[in-house]
A and B are shown apart, each in its own frame.
Chain A
Amino acid sequence: MSKSKLFETPGQVRRAPESFLPADFVADVSANGMNEERRGFLRKSFLGALGAGLATGMGAKAMAQAGPDDPAIIEKQIWQTTLGQPVAVKPYGEPSIYEKYLQRRQSPGLTAVDAASVSFAPLQGFFGIITPNGLHFERHHQGWYDIDPNKHRLMINGMVKKELVFTMDDLMRLPSTSKFHFIECGANTGMEWGNVAVPTVQYTHGMLSCCEFTGVPLSLLLEMAGADLKKGKYVLAEGNDGSGMTRTIPMEIALDDVMVAWAMNGEMLRPENGYPLRLVVPGVQGVSWVKWLRRIEVGDKPYGTKDEAVHYIDLMPDGTHRQYTTVQEVKSVITTPSGGQQLLTTGFYNISGLAWSGRGKIQRVDVSVDGGRNWSQARLESPIMDKCLTRFNIDWVWDGKPAILQSRAVDSTGHIQPMINALREVRGTRSIYHNNAIQSWKVDTNGEVSNVQVG
């Protein structure tokens, strides 16, 4: 079998009726009793439910036939018959109130103190590749501040001809560049090294975001300062918050595509993401993207800072730690359907997900619906950019039987995303960081999707 049969026969089935008595109607009847208006609503609802139920029973062909009159069409709605709200009622726009469930969330019990914690982006509800600024994941080491940009400074020092200071006004006068990149915490999916630990893609993979960043290339600032590129093999990036976050970056990466950025997705950075200035280190784990960036030092040796010597190190089975593991390797995950979600009927679905690699572009994504026995190539949506999320989609007809969904990405260097068991064979089970294993979601016969690991 060259291709799973499930992928080959996309069909269409009308969705089963949902609760046709809204909770507020039930509450209204309970409180106020029945009257002619409420009776009329009830009649229409029962008719609608009956028709929808028949359509399901008749199978895919019934889709083409007209159902009973839909009140959403037949009845005049309030938004058709009254005046809407004027412009700029909300000078800074907000999502619809019907989108309130998609929020950054903490994983209960993950950390004892919220100022050194993480909030996860709701990947299960995103489209395309861009993360809305209000939903970009957060990870702070000593709390966040909304720093006054007039008081923010960037210093370049160390092995340079001229030690320089820039204000935000200075930096924003320089020739800027804008690029799309993913940012992923090195600990993303870290809770799953030993076993399944969390229910949804928000918690397994939500320390991941992707934005268009705008700023100046770090190479330009290093050039202005006259950096010694013969002896200066590393830069230290330092933050302006209480943690004074510091990370060593090899000069080769610093000169390549690292950016000193003030904007994401067309507006200034959000305070939780480093306003007014952060480092952008494409393909490298998020901790190196130092937020509230205040200083770049050029040096001839790595700095061995706290987050290079105590955290963000990978414990190997022989008891050694891998230090300065920074590159985020090829990875992908199906976001819909994903853990904690519920399929409403059998029939056609679009399986959709995200793929990325810190080493380059995504070349291919394969999807399996039978736990890794057979794979089919997914459609990659454009744009496909360097060190950036790539959206993939594939058709699927669910027949109501249990299924295990997986995705597997290949990057432009030919590196293929591994199974969790292959990762454990080399790195053991007591690592925390850099888990880029294939994710498995089990679809049960009742349509509920759950997080599983397969061997």
Chain B
Amino acid sequence: MFKLAKLVGSVALAGMAGVVFAQDVKTYEGIGRLATPNEVAAWDIDVRPDFVGLPKGSGTVEDGMGIWDTQCASCHGTFGESNEVFTPIIGGTTAKDQETGRVASLTDPNQPQRSTLMKVPTVSTLWDYIHRAMPWTNPRTLSVDDTYAVLAYILYLGEIVDDEFVLNEQTIKEVQERMPNRNGMTLEHGMWQRDGKPDVNGSDCMTNCVTAVEITSTLPDYARNAHYNIAEQNRIFGPFRGADTTKPPVAELPGANFQTVAMTTAAPASSGGETVDVAALFKANNCAACHAADMKMVGPSIKQVAEKYDDKPETLAMLAGKVKNGAVGTWGQIPMPPHPQVSEENINLMVQWMVSGGQ
């Protein structure tokens, strides 16, 4: 309460300095309005670990499988195991974990990934996130029942419920008692509150603090150019230039072999008029998440598409329709989600670009 007293005090002080305030400083006359019940209902969508905020509804594992295969599998894999786009949802948990509420593989250094089910302690978190933010490209398009169904299917894939399970606002409380990592989180640390106590403190030693300095880790030589040419990520004048990482390190101190660090200072070329950069468009619309240049990722590569299709108008129109409305089957069982948010003009440009091999 003292905080509010302080606030009122500071406002009073400002008033003394000549600013005119309304009598009741807490209302700020004419600013803001009351929210309607419908408005609050439309936006107050969060679901808390004690299930406050969870709407009534239900969904079966079977219904969830249908939604999963058409709307979720393209990013998360058929069994929620995919690591191609996001970290896996399923994997790394056991029946024993469900008894203890602690995931044993979290201490196993050989466990390759930490899946969502290995980490998440509260089932409400999954319901809330699926409902508010999924599917990835079309968030908030799943109904309440759809959300229950998809979550039921995820829990089934994680072997937390069986295939007959019906998830609803009552049974979800039973599920919470089986969450594999429900006892795996702690608030016993100093980084939640500002006056918390740090757990790792440094030394204030000033002289002869260590006997030997050993370099324990460096970037391997093959990674020298992994972040492209660092010379082009630094200012071209001043005492520190970027190292030219397209070349091996210079052998001697610069000055003896100055050409290796000299940069041309030519002005950058001006932008090229009104032409559309389709490659940038492709990236900006997240198409590159699934389609690489010449390697099959989630979807076919640009090269594969170019080899399969010609650029006749009917072919282009057919492909544009697939991009807009989604498609499945041509390149395997992982479907392409619909992209209603991309303009037809841009879809046409990108389809033309793809069948031309990205030229």
Residues of B within 8 A of A350 (CB): 239
Q: Min CB distance, A77 to chain B, in Å?
A: 14
Q: Does A349 make an interface contact (CB < 8 A)?
A: yes
| B217 interfacial contact with A, CB 8 Å | yes
How near does chain B come to A381, taking the closest CB pair, in angstroms?
A: 18
Residue of A nearest to B84 (CB): A112
Which residues of A from 155 to 183 have beta carbons under 8 Å from B? 155, 157-158, 162-166, 170, 173-175
Contact partners of A438 in chain B: CB under 8 A: 202
* Given A319-B107, A416-B202, A450-B128 contact (CB < 8 Å): no
A107 at the interface (CB under 8 A from B): yes
Residue numbers in A under 8 Å from B52 (CB-CB): 299, 301
Q: Please report the C-alpha to C-alpha distance between residue A448 and residue B250 in the assembled complex, in whole angstroms.
A: 8
Question: Given A219-B4, A243-B139, A454-B215: A238 and B46 within 8 A (CB)?
Answer: yes
Q: 19 A–B contact pairs at CB < 8 A?
A: A102-B234, A107-B227, A112-B85, A141-B133, A163-B34, A165-B35, A165-B39, A253-B193, A256-B194, A295-B44, A306-B125, A309-B125, A310-B119, A320-B185, A325-B192, A327-B196, A376-B206, A447-B250, A455-B214
Interface stretch (choices B281-289, B310-318, B330-338): B281-289
Total interface residues in chain B, CB < 8 Å: 122
> What does the 1/0 interface line of B88-117 toward A look like (CB < 8 Å)?
000000000000001110110100001010
Set A15, A220, A309, A349: member contacting B122, Cβ < 8 A: A309
A-B pairs, 8 with minimum CB distance: A16-B255, A19-B262, A371-B213, A416-B202, A340-B230, A319-B106, A242-B139, A453-B217
Residues of B within 8 A of A330 (CB): 198
Contact between A422 and B186, CB atoms less than 8 A apart: no
Residue of B nearest to A243 (CB): B133
Contact B39 A446 (CB under 8 A): no
Interface set, chain A 398-455, CB cutoff 8 A to B: 400, 404, 408, 410, 415-419, 422-423, 425-427, 430, 434, 438, 442, 444-455
Asked if B77 CB lies within 8 Å of chain A CBs, one says no
- Please report the total number of A residues contacting B with Cβ < 8 Å: 151
Compute how far the CA of A408 lies from the CA of B261 in the bound complex, rounded to whole angstroms.
30
Q: Are B266 and A23 within 8 A (Cβ)?
A: yes
Q: In the complex where A115-B286, A337-B240 touch, is A124 in contact with B234 (Cβ < 8 A)?
A: yes
> Are B31 and A98 touching (Cβ within 8 A)?
no
Interface centre among B11, B52, B185, B202 (most CB of A within 10 A): B202
Give min CB distance, B223 to chain A, whole Å: 8
B232 contacts which of A98, A101, A294 (Cβ < 8 Å)? A101
Cα A209 to Cα B233 with chains together (Å)? 18
Q: Taking the complex as formed, is B245 at the interface, i.e. its CB lies under 8 A from any CB of chain A?
A: yes
The answer to whether B233 and A323 have CB atoms under 8 Å apart is no
In the complex, A350→B238 CA distance in Å? 11
- Let me know if B253 and A400 touch, CB within 8 A: yes
Within 8 A of B (CB), among A292-329: 294-295, 297, 299, 301-306, 308-310, 313, 315-327, 329
Contact assessment for A329 and B191 in the assembled complex, using a CB-CB cutoff below 8 Å: yes
> Is the Cβ of B187 less than 8 Å from the Cβ of A323?
yes
B321 close to chain A: CB less than 8 A: no
Segment of A64-72, A129-137, A198-206 in the binding face:
A198-206
Task: Mark B189-219 against chain A: 1 for CB-CB distance below 8 A, else 0.
Answer: 1111110101111111111111001111111
B286 touches which of A141, A143, A175 (Cβ 8 Å): A143
Q: Verify if B56 is at the interface (C-beta below 8 Å from A).
A: no
Q: What distance in Å separates the Cβ of B98 from its nearest Cβ neighbour in chain A? A: 16
Q: Is residue A382 contacting chain B, with contact meaning CB distance below 8 A?
A: no
For window 236-275 of A, CB contacts with B under 8 Å fall at: 236, 238, 242-244, 246, 250, 252-253, 255-256
B254 is contacted by which of A155, A200, A344 (Cβ under 8 Å)?
Answer: A344
**Which residues in B have their C-beta under 8 angstroms from that of A341?**
230, 234, 240-243
User: B198, A415: Cβ atoms under 8 Å?
Assistant: yes
Is residue A82 within 8 Å, beta carbon to beta carbon, of the partner chain?
no
Say yes or no: is A359 at the interface (Cβ < 8 Å to chain B).
Answer: yes
Report whether A422 and B202 are in contact in the complex, using a CB–CB cutoff of 8 Å. yes
- CA–CA, A90 and B237, complex, Å: 25
**Are A170 and B32 in contact, CB atoms less than 8 angstroms apart?**
yes
Instruction: Say yes or no for B184: interface residue by CB 8 A criterion.
Output: yes
B-side residues, CB < 8 A to A, are 1, 3-4, 7, 11, 14, 26-28, 31-35, 39-40, 43-46, 48-50, 52, 84-86, 102-104, 106-107, 109, 114, 116, 119-122, 124-125, 128-129, 132-133, 136, 139-140, 181, 184-187, 189-194, 196, 198-210, 213-219, 223-224, 226-228, 230-237, 239-245, 249-256, 258-259, 261-262, 264-268, 283-284, 286, 288-289
Residue numbers in B under 8 Å from A299 (CB-CB): 48, 52
Name the residue of chain B whose CB is nearest to the CB of A406: B213
**What is the minimal beta-carbon distance from A387 to any residue of chain B, in angstroms?**
9
Residue among B49, B139, B215 with max Cβ neighbours from chain A (10 Å)? B215
Contact B254 A447 (CB under 8 A): yes
Bound CA span A16–B250, Å: 15
Complex: A192 Cα to B13 Cα, angstroms = 49
Asked whether, in the complex, the Cβ of A322 is within 8 Å of the Cβ of B191, the reply is yes
Give chain A residues whose Cβ lies under 8 Å from the Cβ of B114: 315
A157-B40, A415-B198, A419-B202 known; A446+B250 contact, CB < 8 A: yes
Q: Are B45 and A244 in contact (CB under 8 A)?
A: yes
Choose one: B1, B208, B253; the contact of A373 (CB below 8 Å): B208
Q: Is the CB of A165 within 8 A of B32?
A: yes
Which residue in chain A gives the minimum CB-CB distance to B204?
A416
What would 7 more interface pairs be, CB under 8 Å, given A244-B132, A342-B261? Answer: A23-B264, A173-B28, A175-B11, A246-B46, A309-B125, A315-B106, A341-B241
Looking at the assembled complex, report how far the CB atom of B140 sits from the nearest CB atom of chain A, in whole angstroms: 7
Among A108, A375, A450, the residue within 8 A (CB) of B205 is A375
Q: Are A426 and B48 in contact (CB under 8 A)?
A: no
A373 touching B209 in the complex, CB below 8 Å, given contacts A112-B86, A173-B31, A317-B107: yes
Q: CA of A453 to CA of B215 in the docked complex: distance in angstroms?
A: 6
CA A24 – CA B264 in complex, angstroms?
8
- Which of B48, B133, B191, B242 makes the CB contact (< 8 A) with A325? B191
* Cβ-defined contact, B202 with A452, below 8 A: no
Residues of A193-245 contacting chain B, CB below 8 A:
195-200, 202-203, 217, 219-220, 223-224, 229, 236, 238, 242-244
Task: Tell me the complex Cα distance, A36–B49, Å.
Answer: 82
A344–B255 CB distance below 8 A: yes
CA distance A389 to B109 in the complex (A): 36
Contacts of A33 in B (CB 8 A): none
Expressed in whole angstroms, the minimum distance between the Cβ of B221 and any Cβ of chain A is 11
CB pair A410–B204 under 8 Å, yes or no, is yes
* Chain A, residue nearest B257 (CB): A446
Query: Are the CB atoms of B240 and A343 closer together than 8 Å?
Result: yes
Inter-subunit contact B191/A326 (CB<8 Å): yes
Measured in the bound complex, the distance between the Cα atoms of B223 and A56 in whole Å is 34
Cβ of A372 and Cβ of B206 under 8 Å apart? no
Counting chain A CB atoms within 10 Å of each CB, the highest count among B3, B181, B223 belongs to B3
Whether B184 and A283, one on each chain, are in contact in the complex, defined by CB atoms closer than 8 angstroms, is: no
Closest to B109 in A: A430
**Interchain CB contact under 8 A, B259 and A19:** yes
Could you tell me the distance between the alpha carbons of A203 and B233 in the complex, rounded to whole angstroms?
Answer: 11
A97: CB under 8 A from chain B? yes
Is residue A395 contacting chain B, with contact meaning CB distance below 8 A? Answer: no
Candidate in B204, B231, B233, B261 with the most chain A CB atoms within 10 angstroms: B233
